[in-house]
Structure 1
Amino acid sequence: MSKQLTWDNKGFYVDGEPTYIMSGEFHYFRVPRQDWAARMRLLREAGGNMLATYVPWLIHEPQEGQFVFGDCPSRDLQAFLETAAQEGLMVLVRPGPYQYSELAYAGLPGWLVQRYPQVLAMDETGERICRSGPSEAACVSYLHPLFLQKARRYYAAFCDVIRPYLASNGGPVVMTQVDNECSGVHLWNGSFDCNPDTIGLGREDGRWATWLHRKYGTVTAMNEAYRASYTAFSEVPPVGRTTPGLNRVIGRDYGDFYASMIAEYLHTLTGWLREERIDTPVCHNSPNPGTNSLFLETTQAMGDQFLLGSDHYYALSPTWPQNNPTPQYAAAVLYSMDLLHAMKMPPMIMELPAGNLSDSPPMLPNDLLAAYMTNAAMGMKGSNYYIFTGGPNIPGTGTTDDIYDYHAPIGAFGEIRESYQSVKAFGAFMQQHGWLQTAMRSTQVQLGFDWKDTRLWDYQPVPERPDAITGAEAWRRTSFDLLMAMMSGSMPPAVVPISGELDVAKPLVMVCPDRMRHENQQRLAAFVNNGGKLLLMPKPPVQDEYGRADTILADALGISKTAPLSMRGTHARLPGLGHVYGIKDVCTAEIPQAAQPLCFDAQTDTVIGAQWAVGQGQVIWLGFTFEYRHFAHAALMEYLCG
């Protein structure tokens, strides 16, 4: 078996043929060896063409310097790959260093964190991020030199094992995943990594100071942005959520720096693979839709042989906000797909739920199929069921149970569950509708966003005015309220970065924060001047990202002197449409005399919406936002965008 996996932003190709990638997570170190072939056939019968497996450092280097592969069935990766080839399945190998997967130390060897505590991640106070427990205690600093030294040695041993099984050597291994859900192990424990050895704290040649130097050029420019009086880049401390008197501009910078460290880390792991003559494409999985944008720098650094996917669970425990795939889940799926597509990726869902670690809520077959169809409708081009089948944990390696069953379609002891029929039905659907493999979702409206507003919400600047809208609030209005309204109507939306290519043939809706980068304000102005239709809510920005006065967009559109309209229980009146309730962030503005009023406050008859021509295009100013609750909100957006 020898297949070549390639892709473009429309979809995947196997040996040049458009192919939906349907993979199942299948752990050789858990599934009994005598069951490998039979369960692989069940995956094939359900439409599968690939399987994915972690290769845990934890089990293959149980003692430092002792690498063990093939000494027992649960460590026989070679035999597993041979079986996959015999069964006609491609393989995605996931060597970490991290796996998570409810393994002790998140898949890292215990000796690493016990013997070398200096590699552990730290918060801005110098305290370890990790808590007690076999998983949390393995919260390491990705770029700590000692951690990289130990991980490099493991990668060499792993590469020696899989090299003969690469697709280029006639084997089944077509892709390699570097690490797993980067950022999760830090952010889920409450902080960015601020390990002083990793960031070079206090050193002008350290990573953090070098990053600041690269961004600002001079300390004077940096001080202007920070409104500070540092004398060197190395004086700037790392910051976290609990930093007293947090300078949020520094916080945003440190978050961007952290994203750059993720990019450097994944680039380093990929470099190791290439040094060891592993020539497969490389991939990584964002922990969830909300973290996709943390990997923007990674996708820019890694090139066209790198694939970023995302994980799309809807419930993993009773504490999750929903028990089944809800409209809110569908909205998150849609913007996740669009963010991946904006990064030039064919949307691949690296962990699509096929079961649940918890007994509650139950993963019902109809719910699972609804989740799969929802993802397909929003543009999914490949998926990996997590997990397709499980089995016993190697003694001492599990953290949740002796049996890693996950309520999977194929149980730990080979039992076929009802959910297998959902997997099979979805596989049949994708095979019957091959046109979906490269089809692009049809859209009529663009919902604009700034990449910086989609992440690092804890570090967004505190508004200087009570009526100001933060970037986080603007993204919330866009990714939920506007998206839900558009999804409830007849004009399908696309969520697009305003720093990317904007289509002047489609209306662009933009909820503007008070602060917006100068270049993005310019892009919005150019969009209108070049013939686009811009629906701006609720008012244009008045500052750049550093809080300096910047009204280039407002000036270009002819909007000035915005002010909050003090009202209680208000609603809007639109002639020809009726009343719209549930509005907020209401404001007035001075607009061009030639503007045509569209919308009025129903109590005072004040104009709170109008349209007029600018250049070759049109501007619609809507002086409010809304929390989506009523179909009237969908009707409003169709009325204005149509």
Structure 2
Amino acid sequence: MTAVESVRLSRRRLLVNGRPELVFAGEVHYFRLHRRDWADRLDRLVEAGCTAVASYMPWLVHERPDGEIDLRGNTSEYRDLVGFLDLAAERDLLVIARPGPFVMAELKNEGIPYRVYREHPEILPVGWDGRPGTTRTVDYLADGFLTEVDRWYAQIMPVLAERQVSRGGPVAAVQLDNEIGMLSWVSNTPELTDQMLSDFAVWSVKRWGSDGVQARHGLDPDDVPAWRHGVRSPAPGSLALHHDLSEYHRDRYDRYVTHLRANAESHGLTDVPFLINIHGTGGGRGRTYPIGISQLYPSYRGKPQLTSGSDHYLGDLTVENVADLYVMNAFMAAVHDEDQPLTSLEFEAGLGDYGEDLSRQVPPEALALKTRLCVAQANRLVNYYLFAGGHNPPLEEKVGDGNDRIAFTGERHGFTAPIGPEGAPNASYPVLRDTVTAVSGAGHLLADMDEEYDDLALAFVPDHYLTEYAHPGDDARGAVVAELEQFRGMGSRDVVARAMLLGGFSFPAVDVQSDLQADLDTDPAGGAAAGRAIVLTSASTLAAPVQQRLADFVLAGGRLLLAGMVPTRDTDGSACTILGDALGVRGGATVAGNERVFPSVRAEGWTTAHAEVRVGVLQHLELGEDAQDAEVFARETATGNAVAVEVHPGRGHALVLACDYICDLDFWRALLARLGVRPRYTHDATAPGIVVTSTVDGDGQRLLHLINVGPVDQSFVVSDGTGPLFDGARVHLPARSGRILPLNVRTEDGVLAWSTCELAGVGDGALLLRRNGAGDAFRFQGRDPRTWPDAPDAAGQVVAVE
């Protein structure tokens, strides 16, 4: 293997020695394994096809009760970080270092030493009404905490710096902290310490001016006691205060990450990328994941050699949640700059039995499906978490908490991982190995490809996810949060994104809080002007600047599908109808279903579905006198009131669908076709569950990504705008499987026009194909032909392998 001397981020690629690479890693916790077991686990990782190992490096483990920090195993084999790094280097494994200070990973105090809390009680947050926080998070910017973090970094960062790839070592990237802001969000506990509230006052005055702050919040920022009480116990209906408090936390996290990075760089860690881990999945879904993006994107957006990584636990991948993962990646990319690639720092591996109680078993093939979808969306680094289990050694300091170990999971840890605590593989290990092998067969192409999109983009509104804090006594705030949770992101019941993805569309997301027109004019992959239609799922709350930006976009000739409620208020609760006024559409009364009320709608006109459909919620729409060429295309059956209208404001075109219409794929395709948007690829599969997208490089070489998340085998013909692909050959895709099929891929001797088999790599100048079985075929155009016996009409410099 060629020695790695540099790892950089550029053009949304991961450059290793200046060349785009796709990196697969596995998380191995050296501090949970005896030193004698390290080699075996790393060898298993290499056997699985991975080229990197990731590991947390817990402050809690390496600091002794007296404050001494041991990173070389002088006092315990579990502390021999240096030995582990050197062993990884011997196997040519890159290292993704994750030194905290927070690491989570089921560790006590999330990996922070007990001493820090004892000596600095002021760092513990104070929550609503002055109540103490319920988690072991901290005030990140507290002076005492930062002093202790600096002390920890002063010990561990030089060790990592000395072993950067630029200095001949294995360290290829470093994660700064872990899941920043997560504990505060899940516990609904903003960090309302005295120091933080003083800083919030300064931030607020800088943002709004002293008089403006008093007007927004009814609080005098110079009256310290009143300010502290008013923020900790806000008056009912304090929508502006809640919004500002969450926005302020974004700024705090940005400053915190900036501090960590500057500290790391001061110790010589200057030649590798930094990473931020984004949290947020729950219950096997990704609905809340964008909260983590919303909290943290100012910390990394536009920052050189720094990017974000996903942290997702979705369990199985099915028709229910496949759009969750797709949209998570799209929203992450929407706030990345032109150099920042997608990565995944905790990519769920294993069988999902995290409680060791057999309450959950994730099918092993879920790992393959999720990997295939993520690489199709240009993820450049995938870290399988947790790759290998282990055990939790005892704490050197006895704390009397029932087990006195470093973690709360008991003696064994990672019992669901592909390699279990005792070193035995479970059913997910061969799937991981086979998946990495299969994807790596096309890795030389994937690493320098971007996803191709259809003529639309899903709107991402980061402020729709500023819902992590809500005072428990503020019913108005609670109602706003509940409505946002219902309509934001993927749409009510997740139908909009699910219908788009399973309807055959490939789409990016666009941050409509930034310069919308700039995002539309330039395709993220670097292509020509796109002019995409925007699909916005919105509640009645939408910030005035965003409404204005969308209004200007449509009036100037843009296309918009608005699904949900017509916005009627700004984030501070004040009336705001800029977007509706521009469209000539006003939102009227809403009707919500319950056990006695069953609101129904009937589509009409040019739509494809005219049966009466029960919905969960609808809004009556009223057309203004200036609504241009307005046409109703769905009505409430009980009243005949419009719930869906088509309008042509200015030079634009908009559809407003104010109900949670079912996931009728033909209906949603008809809506998008009305806006002039049709999928690049179509297929004739008879059951839902097929996801299709493609990636392309600068030379026009393509890979077609087909994923069947449904429960039935499918056989279908794929077509593009010119006709059937693969000369009309049917693609056979078993249930719960995927294919990455080459189109127009060059070799030294010609062009592989297409193949219904996946690439297995390149050998001796020839492309290698992996046999699938039924329907195997390919077409090669070139010289020096060799014939594949099973496909006598397809010849060329292509070799089939098992």
Please confirm whether the aligned pair reaches a TM-score higher than 0.5, indicating the same fold: yes
1:48 offset after TM fit, Å?
0.9
Question: Deviations along 1:49-72, whole A, 9 cap, x unmatched?
Answer: 111111111121112431212213
Q: Which residue of 2 aligns with 1:443?
A: 454
1:336 aligns with 2:335: no
* Cα distance change, pair 64–128 in 1 and its aligned pair in 2 (3 A): farther
1:625 offset after TM fit, Å?
2.1
Q: Which residue of 2 aligns with 1:454?
A: 465
What is the distance in 2 between the residues matched to 1:547 and 1:295?
A: 24
Query: What 5-or-longer segments of structure 1 have no aligned partner?
Result: 131-135, 316-323
Identity of aligned residues (%): 24
| Residue identity matched to 1:51 | V
1:171 offset after TM fit, Å?
0.8
| Residue identity matched to 2:391 | P
| Residue identity matched to 2:326 | L
- Secondary structure in 2 aligned to 1:585? strand
1:418 aligns with 2:427: yes
1:511 aligns with 2:537: yes
Is the Cα contact below 8 Å between 1:333 and 1:378 reproduced in 2? no
Is the Cα contact below 8 Å between 1:522 and 1:553 reproduced in 2? yes
Q: How does 1:392-403 map to 2 (within 5 A)?
A: 392-395=391-394, 396-403=405-412
Query: What 5-or-longer segments of structure 2 have no aligned partner?
Result: 281-288, 395-404, 522-529, 678-802
1:29 aligns with 2:31: yes
Question: Deviations along 1:531-576, whole A, 9 cap, x unmatched?
Answer: 2111234564333333334333333333357455799532123124
* Cα distance change, pair 121–522 in 1 and its aligned pair in 2 (3 A): same
Larger radius of gyration: 2
Is the Cα contact below 8 Å between 2:490 and 2:498 reproduced in 1? no
Residue of 409, 412, 418 corresponding to 1:409 = 418
Q: Which residue of 1 aligns with 2:655?
A: 620
Q: Which residue of 2 aligns with 1:590?
A: 623
Which stretch shifts more, 554-563 or 166-175? 554-563
Question: Deviations along 1:314-335, whole A, 9 cap, x unmatched?
Answer: 24xxxxxxxx223343222112
Q: Which residue of 2 aligns with 1:499?
A: 513
| Residue identity matched to 2:436 | G
Q: How does 1:162-311 map to 2 (within 5 A)?
A: 162-197=160-195, 199=196, 201=197, 206-216=198-208, 218-226=209-217, 228=218, 230=220, 232=222, 234=224, 235-237=226-228, 245=236, 247-279=238-270, 280-288=272-280, 289-290=289-290, 291-300=292-301, 303-311=303-311
Q: Which residue of 2 aligns with 1:391?
A: 390
What is the distance in 1 between the residues matched to 2:465 and 2:238?
A: 19
| Residue identity matched to 1:29 | F
What is the distance in 2 between the residues matched to 1:231 and 1:62?
A: 43
Q: Report which of the two has the higher share of helix.
A: 1
Question: Deviations along 1:478-517, whole A, 9 cap, x unmatched?
Answer: 3822111212313334332213413563221223433322
1:298 offset after TM fit, Å?
0.9
* Cα distance change, pair 433–628 in 1 and its aligned pair in 2 (3 A): farther
1:229 offset after TM fit, Å?
5.5
1:313 aligns with 2:313: yes
1:283 offset after TM fit, Å?
0.9
1:123 offset after TM fit, Å?
0.9
Q: Which residue of 2 aligns with 1:482?
A: 496
What is the distance in 2 between the residues matched to 1:431 and 1:122?
A: 49
Q: Which has the higher contact order (CA 8 A, sep 6+)?
A: 1
1:580 offset after TM fit, Å?
5.3
Q: Which residue of 2 aligns with 1:599?
A: 633
1:626 offset after TM fit, Å?
0.6
Q: Which residue of 1 aligns with 2:772?
A: none
Is the Cα contact below 8 Å between 1:240 and 1:251 reproduced in 2? no
* Cα distance change, pair 585–239 in 1 and its aligned pair in 2 (3 A): farther
What is the distance in 2 between the residues matched to 1:528 and 1:358?
A: 51
Is the Cα contact below 8 Å between 2:364 and 2:428 reproduced in 1? yes
Q: How does 1:72-151 map to 2 (within 5 A)?
A: 72-130=76-134, 136=135, 138-151=136-149
- Secondary structure in 2 aligned to 1:139? coil
1:153 offset after TM fit, Å?
0.8
Which stretch shifts more, 577-586 or 161-170? 577-586
Is the Cα contact below 8 Å between 2:188 and 2:470 reproduced in 1? no
What is the distance in 2 between the residues matched to 1:109 and 1:457?
A: 27
What is the distance in 2 between the residues matched to 1:512 and 1:30?
A: 46
| Residue identity matched to 1:119 | I
| Residue identity matched to 2:116 | L
1:427 aligns with 2:427: no
Which stretch shifts more, 631-640 or 144-153? 631-640
What is the distance in 2 between the residues matched to 1:177 and 1:311?
A: 12
Q: Which residue of 1 aligns with 2:578?
A: 552
1:239 offset after TM fit, Å?
7.4
Q: Report which of the two has the higher share of strand.
A: 2
1:634 aligns with 2:659: no
| Residue identity matched to 2:537 | V
Is the Cα contact below 8 Å between 2:243 and 2:466 reproduced in 1? no
Residue of 17, 20, 23 corresponding to 2:22 = 20
Q: Which residue of 1 aligns with 2:695?
A: none
| Residue identity matched to 1:50 | A
Residue of 579, 604, 612 corresponding to 2:611 = 579
1:532 aligns with 2:523: no
What is the distance in 2 between the residues matched to 1:188 and 1:538?
A: 26
1:459 offset after TM fit, Å?
4.1
Residue of 4, 7, 23 corresponding to 1:5 = 7
- Secondary structure in 1 aligned to 2:535? strand
Is the Cα contact below 8 Å between 2:161 and 2:268 reproduced in 1? yes
What is the TM-score of this pair, normalised by structure 2?
0.71
| Residue identity matched to 1:397 | I
Residue of 346, 368, 380 corresponding to 1:351 = 346
Question: Deviations along 1:444-484, whole A, 9 cap, x unmatched?
Answer: 322223210023165499779x9999444431553822111
* Cα distance change, pair 176–483 in 1 and its aligned pair in 2 (3 A): same
Is the Cα contact below 8 Å between 1:122 and 1:195 reproduced in 2? yes
Is the Cα contact below 8 Å between 1:510 and 1:537 reproduced in 2? yes
| Residue identity matched to 2:203 | W
Which stretch shifts more, 472-481 or 382-391? 472-481
Q: Which residue of 2 aligns with 1:52?
A: 54
Is the Cα contact below 8 Å between 1:484 and 1:628 reproduced in 2? no
Is the Cα contact below 8 Å between 2:561 and 2:656 reproduced in 1? yes
- Secondary structure in 2 aligned to 1:102? coil
| Residue identity matched to 1:358 | G
Is the Cα contact below 8 Å between 2:236 and 2:475 reproduced in 1? no
- Secondary structure in 2 aligned to 1:502? helix
Is the Cα contact below 8 Å between 2:23 and 2:382 reproduced in 1? yes
What is the distance in 2 between the residues matched to 1:563 and 1:413?
A: 61
Is the Cα contact below 8 Å between 2:491 and 2:538 reproduced in 1? no
1:242 offset after TM fit, Å?
7.8
1:569 aligns with 2:595: no
- Secondary structure in 2 aligned to 1:349? strand
What is the distance in 1 between the residues matched to 2:81 and 2:429?
A: 26
* Cα distance change, pair 80–549 in 1 and its aligned pair in 2 (3 A): same
* Cα distance change, pair 570–63 in 1 and its aligned pair in 2 (3 A): same
What is the distance in 2 between the residues matched to 1:75 and 1:389?
A: 18
